A = this chain, B = another copy of it.
Amino acid sequence: MSLRGVIPPLVTPFRADGTLDLSAFEANLEALAGRGLAGFLVLGSNGEAAGLDEEEKLALVAAARRLLPRRLLLAGTGMESTRGTIALTRKAADAGADAVLVLTPHYYKSRMTAEALRLYFEAVADASPVPVYLYSVPAFTGLPWPPGLASELASHPRIAGMKESSGDVSLLERVVSSVPARFEVSCGNALVFYPALCAGAAGGVLAVANCVPRAVVALHQAFVAGDHGRARRIQEALLPLVSAVATSYGVAGLKRAMDMAGLRGGAVRAPLLDAPPAALEELRPLVAKAEEAV
């Protein structure tokens, strides 16, 4: 099991009435299965996990497992309470997840000290039947990753790595240089995928891998092959699309970019708002530019 390579945080398509569109989800999985991806993440931030109930979450894990029986399948299982995370982790593993990605709890941010987070992740890892990956995404949680925490947790036998989504390459560098090689750090911010690889990331769990997987995979392959010039060119070609998705339109924009690439983004779930028609005009050439880079 390894985060090496590119993993899409799968989106969760909804119908216009807000119900889960499992068939669109399955169609996307089939379409993405042959694109050279290293694995698949369900129930991440881009999967709108925050707005799903438990039944829906487990249905998504089970569907992914059923369709892709031999591929690496990660599931996001972080809740606000330790017991809630443990319970969901066990159910997700039962439903077929190979490993779990556990978000930092963050509602009581000022109380989420390095000590509180350490005890939290250790308790979850102690109870988890599958490997645990740490997940930090300050843009959503408002919680910066504490210095030194990754290195402390890396000694736990069931904590296998981290998805670092802040986009702060110096943080990623410092984490990588503080942990043993078996602890893999994956970049969760496509704005810095190539620089993060240079800084020691094992791979990327990247939203745009849902819509332009070939380009993202090609970037990673170029890096692995030592072709820095090509890796940087693809990174540069991805930037406008990544900026539009990450900064301007969010998941709603990502879903429209998927439509353009022949997948089925579906609606977002309220209170998220669907992307305005203008977004389509803006996104179309950016998707094309990213695809042409390969």
Contacts and interface: CB of A to CB of B under 8 A. Distances in A.
A57 to B, nearest CB: 12
A272 B111 contact: yes
B116 A273 contact: yes
A250 B173 contact: no
Contact of A270 (B82, B139, B189, B272): B82
Contacts of A269: 81-83
Nearest to A191: B170
A292 to B, nearest CB: 15
Contacts of A81: 50-52, 269-271
Contact of A119 (B111, B247, B273): B273
Contacts of A115: 273
A120 B270 contact: yes
Interface string A42-85: 00010000111100000000000000000000000001111110
A44 to B, nearest CB: 12
A140 B196 CA distance: 25
A194 interface: yes
B232 A199 contact: yes
Contacts of A119: 270-271, 273
A194 B189 contact: no
A76 to B, nearest CB: 12
A123 B111 CA distance: 33
A112 interface: yes
27 contacts: A45-B107, A45-B108, A50-B80, A50-B81, A50-B107, A51-B80, A81-B271, A82-B271, A83-B269, A105-B271, A108-B250, A108-B272, A109-B142, A110-B247, A111-B250, A113-B273, A117-B271, A119-B270, A141-B142, A167-B170, A169-B192, A170-B189, A170-B195, A173-B192, A173-B236, A198-B232, A226-B228
A177 interface: yes
Given A168-B167, A170-B192, A195-B199, A53 B177 contact: no
Given A116-B272, A120-B271, A169-B195, 10 more contacts: A51-B84, A83-B269, A83-B270, A108-B250, A111-B251, A111-B272, A116-B271, A142-B142, A173-B236, A226-B228
Interface string A186-230: 000101101110111000000000000000000000000010100
